[in-house]
Amino acid sequence: MNGEDSEPFWVSKSLEQLNHQEWESLCDGCGQCCLVKLTDDDTEKVYSTNVACKLLDIESCRCQDYEHRAEKVSACLLLSVDKPELFKLLPETCAYRCLYEHRSIPVWHPLISKDRRAAHTNGLSIRDYAVSEEFIHPEQLEDHVISEI
């Protein structure tokens, strides 16, 4: 390998340059972007709840119908470089946000550590505190706010 080839794609490429497989591999599976968000219409502030999207399998933090997520969940973020406003809704540890903000991805990230469970073992996954949207009435969502984004 020459010096240029030795750089991993998340260092050598911008988000715009990633192929599909590279793009998908950036997700560490924390599930944080799948928590239901609430927006205060007066202040436009956005809040995260501990309520997970109905399609999220909370134990694995994986979408149960990723291929059809756009049709099934209108609020799904559907990250894309064409929608820069979405990156600020992601946690600061999310590799998409890191690269968007020209920061390094975390050293524990599965791409570096080779540990697919790294988000769980580093305490970043929602697995231990999320409840499924299936069991929460929409009027109860405000009671589940956990942070301002």
Interatomic CA distance for residues 139 and 83, integer angstroms? 29
Closest to ligand SF4 by CB, 60 vs 145, is 60
Within 12-51, the residues that bind ligand SF4 by CB under 6 A are: 27-34
**By the rule CB under 6 A, 96 interacts with ligand SF4:** yes
- What is the size of the binding site for ligand SF4 (CB under 6 A)? 19
Neighbours of 102 (CB within 10 A): 7
Tell me how far, at minimum, the Cβ of 27 lies from ligand SF4, in Å. Answer: 3
- Minimum distance between the CB of residue 103 and ligand SF4, rounded to whole angstroms? 14
Cα dihedral sign for 77, 138, 125, 145? positive
Q: Per the structure block, which two tokens stand in for 29?
A: 């599976």
| Cβ-contact 144, 46 below 8 angstroms | no
Which residues make up the interface to ligand SF4 (CB under 6 A)? 27-34, 53, 55-56, 63, 69, 73, 76, 90-91, 94, 96
